[in-house]
Structure 1
């Protein structure tokens, strides 16, 4: 069973390579809320829908002091193509060895078309400005998730 994060937990810090060739360290974003979302694969229909929903909500989220970071096991070159293809302007980070995905409870057994498989569990974790988990949602739907998240966070 995958250990999941819960409100009140300390968000595990990480440093991962980004789609733009740099690196992102979670703790460098302290002082603002951070929405960390985990998705299975760039350039797939569900992941594109979710990524574009975050892109389309980014200005509103940023105006409320929220940063967005997308995490997948895709290599950096695929993330760069994904960002360019869909005009994604927030950081996408690569976790090819799945250590961060696992530490955050976003990799493990899941149901896929009625079968139990091991893979990325579509998840969103909101971290407060001090690095504490504010909200953790697992097995989220790609479509409509960002709108629901905004409602859950009280962001119009």
Structure 2
């Protein structure tokens, strides 16, 4: 596998502006002054991604109480994200990165192993970004199930 970009704690989080499920532009800079969980997932409405999104939904109160907003990003089109958000009652923004530019910039798109084969795809990843816009924690190849509970246990408070 080729070497791909990875973010580390202390790095400036790459800026982005992407459409949400309604087509409204959302920027990372909208969260300056607050901490934010930015997570990347392969595809809306798939079993693993649904489990992960519902775990974030169910934990949004605990995350907010710890000073964190949540933003999910996938290569899905806004229309698919809208259906996903409505079907699952999601209470945080889902952003569309159809051209995968933001995914790539954050190191969440590239070569990965899938059933023993090397393929190009979304690398399920989660980042904690501090109020100053710097990466506090960068987690690559996270599991969909149990990931949010683990994140809550290890959450640094802002």
TM-score bucket (shorter structure): over 0.9
- Structure 2 residue 151 is the aligned partner of structure 1 residue 152: no
Give 2:59's match in structure 1, choosing from 52, 57, 60.
Answer: 57
CA distance in 2 between counterparts of 1:60 and 1:148 reads 13
2:11 alignment partner, SS class: coil
4+ aligned runs moved over 6 Å, structure 1: none
Structure 2 unaligned runs (5+)?
A: none
CA distance in 2 between counterparts of 1:21 and 1:119 reads 24
Question: For 1:110-149, what per-residue CA distance to the aligned partner results, in whole angstroms no more than 9, with x for missing partners?
Answer: 0111111000000001100000000000000000000111
CA distance in 2 between counterparts of 1:89 and 1:37 reads 14
2:71 alignment partner, SS class: strand
With normalisation by structure 2, the TM-score equals 0.96
Instruction: Tell me how many residue pairs correspond in the alignment.
Output: 155
Q: What is the RMSD of the two structures over their aligned residues, measured on CA atoms? A: 0.9
With normalisation by structure 1, the TM-score equals 0.97
Give 1:139's match in structure 2, choosing from 132, 138, 141.
Answer: 141
Structure 1 unaligned runs (5+)?
A: none
CA distance in 1 between counterparts of 2:153 and 2:128 reads 13
